[in-house]
Structure 1
């Protein structure tokens, strides 16, 4: 599975990072980005920052997307 964040919609609330810290991180610009291991997909972000995540994180990623106030988290198969 893959996930990306539309930074134009991100409110910087940080719920995604709280729910799934292995997949999401907030950077100094106050916006959330996806990560794959130690690699943070911040340049570019958005749809170009599509990161794979392990199946074990699926429930947390779905919860992050559902709880996100900016509705900016997109999950792809």
Structure 2
């Protein structure tokens, strides 16, 4: 069994309480992240709809896995969480091992 999660098994969410509005995530993966009128980043569902509920998660498109993980690693607010959908283990973000 591979140590890496299947690409379509990853989910991402943003903790808006920690978001600094820096915008790296929107630059790295604009299909996944977007600013709302409050100046904070949110995730979008596969149809492009902004998910504004606290802790709302969306699937990470396979072709954007690296960009989303880089967003989590580079985020100055440490507010982006990338987790495996199967077990909820954080693979990138402030709680990643």
TM-score, scaled to structure 2: 0.73
What is the alpha-carbon root mean square deviation over aligned residues? 0.8
Alignment of 1:1-77 (within 5 A): 1-36=10-45, 37-42=47-52, 44-45=53-54, 47=55, 49-77=56-84
Show CA shifts across 1:2-59 (max 9, x none). 00000000000111000110100011100000002321111x13x2x11112111100
Structure 1 segments of 4+ aligned residues over 4 angstroms from their partners: none
How many residues end up aligned between the 2 structures? 74
Q: Quick check: which one's helix share is greater?
A: 1
Instruction: Give the structure with higher Rg (CA).
Output: 2
Question: Looking at both structures, which has the greater relative contact order when contacts are Cα pairs under 8 Å and sequence separation is at least 6?
Answer: 1
Unaligned runs of 5+ in 2: 1-9, 85-97
